Chain A
Amino acid sequence: MTEQPLLIAEGLSKNYGTRLGCRDVSLEVYPGEVLAVVGESGSGKSTLLGLLSTELEPSAGRVSYRLRDGRVADLASLGAAEKRLLMRTDWGFVRQNPADGLRMAVSAGGNVGERLMAVGWRHYGNIRGEALDWLAKVEIAGDRIDDDPRAFSGGMRQRLQIARNLVTRPRLVFMDEPTGGLDVSVQARLLDLIRGLVAELGLAVIIVTHDLAVARLLSHRMVVMRHGRVIETGITDQVLDDPREPYTQLLVSSVLAA
């Protein structure tokens, strides 16, 4: 593979006062690759995701991203306007709680159409057509297009959030525990959907999860974190089937067999 990485993190650290968020994390994400970040609660997964998506400012280290024009830019050097444009066109962010990622008072169609309108779409019929198209892709019936997400179930809200993020065909999507709080059968359907979309659109995904089954199903590579540091990285199957670090072995052995 001669492809260049899409996102490069070098020596990322974040301190919250004297407490440590994460320390000296370096990683690369390639186009079309799904990278899982796993670890127990408080291991710095969400901090890392915040740093990579520039929602948090690192105490040390930097994040570079290859823009659509091929230029590799240090994200800290981008202006606010450029960064926001990047976030609403080339990136997506699927949050654990759909209420944080959706506009709950705006209809499903409006939620999906918002990014399109933000990049200059001004034709109602086209926006609505695209929204219908995306609702179908995430298995939401077309006649729910004018309903508020408040009237949706948890699984539907999560799928709507995915549609809202993918409508501008981003190249990189951040996901923070996208299946958290959903029951098992809904989780399975959602994972199936995400896997299908990722393959179809060639998305690069950085997914944070504490659920090793999610990591196993979705990701190509994984990063194991503990106490703010990356302790093991590798191909997902390799890490899960043959964990090297004692902590990873513990994690893997803690999974309950159904």
Chain B
Amino acid sequence: MNAHAVGGMPEITYNFAYLDEQTKRMIRRAILKAIAVPGYQVPFAAREMPMPYGWGTGGVQVTAAVLGPKDVLKVIDQGADDTTNAVAIRGFFEKTARVATTTSAVEATVIQTRHRIPETPLAEHQILVYQVPIPEPLRFLEPRETETRQLHALAEYGLMHVKLYEDIARHGHIATTYAYPVEVAGRYVMDPSPIPKFDNPKLDDCPALQLFGAGREKRIYAIPPYTKVRSLDFEDHPFKVQRFAKPCALCAATGVYLDEVILDDKGGRMFVCSDTDYCNGRQEAGHRGEMSGASPSPQPSPPRGEGADGALNLSPPGRGRPEGPGEGTSGVPTTPSSAGDPGSAGAAPSGMTGQGSHQP
């Protein structure tokens, strides 16, 4: 990984986007099949990637397979462009594919995402790649994979409703708030990855191609553009998305998904857009929330806003870096030095390097 190591080590060169061409062909075949059968989980021979399972190995492989030299890549993690996972994967493709990266949902042609769909509506030329931990929606109801495959094949989805029934019986309403099961193109029931159910309506009739990659489980599935996606529900308990009482504290946006940020130990909290790019765009356009201050600066600092500062491209020393064990071992604070990194366009410095040395 440390391709540009300091002490006179030979420089490692990667094939475009890290994976070899045969592997990318294999993944593309799986993707084509997934597009042909919307919502069906296509097995593929997932490779070992230079990151742990659970960090987006499936999404990274799908991205590597669809990425071209002219693509512009955006990576988001829980809606944010500047959290560890997003910075790391963006740095990975800057280094191995030398593609341009962006934080703008409009400029990007390929968006790899963990847990969110951007608030900005997507367009036909875009591909949204989801990182999927558990592709099987029936997993926790029917542990046998042989049986769940039968159930999918025969479209026996009564079991999925048993889960929703249990929710209502226990909580009085459907309490599943993320990874909310959907029916794709009137046939397969699919787990949309752990996006909040708030984002489920965006899956429906989306102009962009949506690809889902699960690395550990070795499955790829897809929603082709303009496909009917229906969230499962009961006639007397229809599907509903979360609502928020207040607008975003920084950009005053309503009808968007908000993150709760704890400000102190006295109950102070704020609700801000989970989509940092969207929030920044609105602030640049002059929208002000109740806690954004009066400063016209495009990157306002909220009061004690740890984790809520909208500063996008200044990420490396900022949040997401655990100040935990491992930091002090070398005696020197490890700041990823990427000033001389030839591949990076000056945006996010080599995230992978930083991540590698910081994970406890």
Among A80, A117, A123, A145, the residue within 8 A (CB) of B158 is A117
Instruction: Determine if B170 is an interface residue (Cβ-Cβ < 8 Å).
Output: yes
Once the chains bind, are A114 and B162 in contact (CB under 8 Å)? yes
Once the chains bind, are A80 and B165 in contact (CB under 8 Å)? no
- Whole-angstrom distance from the CB of B161 to the nearest CB of chain A? 4
Residues of A within 8 Å of B236, CB to CB, are 123-125
Given the known interface contacts A123-B235, A124-B234, the answer about A107 and B158 at a Cβ–Cβ threshold of 8 Å is no
Q: Give chain B's interface residue range (CB within 8 Å of chain A).
A: 10 to 19
Mask for B135-157, Cβ within 8 A of A = 1, else 0? Answer: 00000010000000010011010
A111 and chain B: residue at smallest CB distance: B162
Once the chains bind, are B166 and A118 in contact (CB under 8 Å)? no
Residues of B within 8 Å of A110, CB to CB, are 162, 165-166, 169
Among A103, A107, A122, the residue within 8 A (CB) of B234 is A122
Once the chains bind, are A123 and B159 in contact (CB under 8 Å)? no
Once the chains bind, are A109 and B159 in contact (CB under 8 Å)? no
Mask for A118-140, Cβ within 8 A of B = 1, else 0? Answer: 11001111011000000000000
B158 and chain A: residue at smallest CB distance: A118
Docked CA distance A63–B16 (Å): 60
Instruction: Determine if A169 is an interface residue (Cβ-Cβ < 8 Å).
Output: no
Instruction: Determine if B237 is an interface residue (Cβ-Cβ < 8 Å).
Output: yes
Once the chains bind, are A107 and B161 in contact (CB under 8 Å)? no
Instruction: Determine if B168 is an interface residue (Cβ-Cβ < 8 Å).
Output: yes
- Whole-angstrom distance from the CB of A8 to the nearest CB of chain B? 26
Once the chains bind, are A124 and B154 in contact (CB under 8 Å)? no
Docked CA distance A127–B158 (Å): 12
Interface residues of A in 20-54 (CB under 8 A from B): none
- Whole-angstrom distance from the CB of A230 to the nearest CB of chain B? 33
Among B154, B158, B168, the residue within 8 A (CB) of A119 is B158
Interface residues of B in 219-252 (CB under 8 A from A): 234-237
Among B153, B156, B169, the residue within 8 A (CB) of A109 is B169
Given the known interface contacts A107-B166, A124-B165, A124-B237, the answer about A114 and B154 at a Cβ–Cβ threshold of 8 Å is no
Residues of A within 8 Å of B165, CB to CB, are 109-110, 113, 117, 124, 127
Residues of A within 8 Å of B156, CB to CB, are 84, 118
Once the chains bind, are B154 and A146 in contact (CB under 8 Å)? no
Residues of B within 8 Å of A122, CB to CB, are 161, 234-235
Mostly helix, strand, loop or mixed at chain A's interface? Answer: helix
Docked CA distance A80–B155 (Å): 12
Instruction: Determine if A195 is an interface residue (Cβ-Cβ < 8 Å).
Output: no
Docked CA distance A1–B213 (Å): 62
Among A80, A106, A116, A119, the residue within 8 A (CB) of B166 is A106
A83 and chain B: residue at smallest CB distance: B154
- Whole-angstrom distance from the CB of A141 to the nearest CB of chain B? 16
Docked CA distance A239–B167 (Å): 51
Given the known interface contacts A80-B154, A115-B158, A117-B158, the answer about A146 and B235 at a Cβ–Cβ threshold of 8 Å is no
Instruction: Determine if A184 is an interface residue (Cβ-Cβ < 8 Å).
Output: no
Instruction: Determine if A258 is an interface residue (Cβ-Cβ < 8 Å).
Output: no
Once the chains bind, are B235 and A106 in contact (CB under 8 Å)? no
Residues of B within 8 Å of A114, CB to CB, are 158-159, 162
Docked CA distance A179–B84 (Å): 59
Docked CA distance A123–B235 (Å): 5
Once the chains bind, are B169 and A107 in contact (CB under 8 Å)? yes
Instruction: Determine if A255 is an interface residue (Cβ-Cβ < 8 Å).
Output: no
Once the chains bind, are A117 and B169 in contact (CB under 8 Å)? no
Docked CA distance A109–B162 (Å): 9
Once the chains bind, are B169 and A146 in contact (CB under 8 Å)? yes
Instruction: Determine if A81 is an interface residue (Cβ-Cβ < 8 Å).
Output: yes
Docked CA distance A135–B158 (Å): 20
A146 and chain B: residue at smallest CB distance: B169
Which of B's residues lie within 8 Å of A, judged by CB? Answer: 141, 150, 153-154, 156, 158-159, 161-162, 165-166, 168-170, 234-237
Task: Name 10 interchain pairs, CB-CB below 8 A, sorted by A.
Answer: A80-B154, A109-B165, A113-B162, A114-B159, A114-B162, A117-B162, A123-B235, A128-B169, A145-B169, A146-B169
A110-B169, A122-B235, A124-B237 given; name 15 further pairs at CB < 8 Å.
Answer: A80-B153, A84-B154, A84-B156, A103-B141, A106-B162, A107-B170, A110-B165, A114-B162, A117-B161, A117-B165, A118-B156, A118-B159, A123-B236, A124-B168, A145-B169
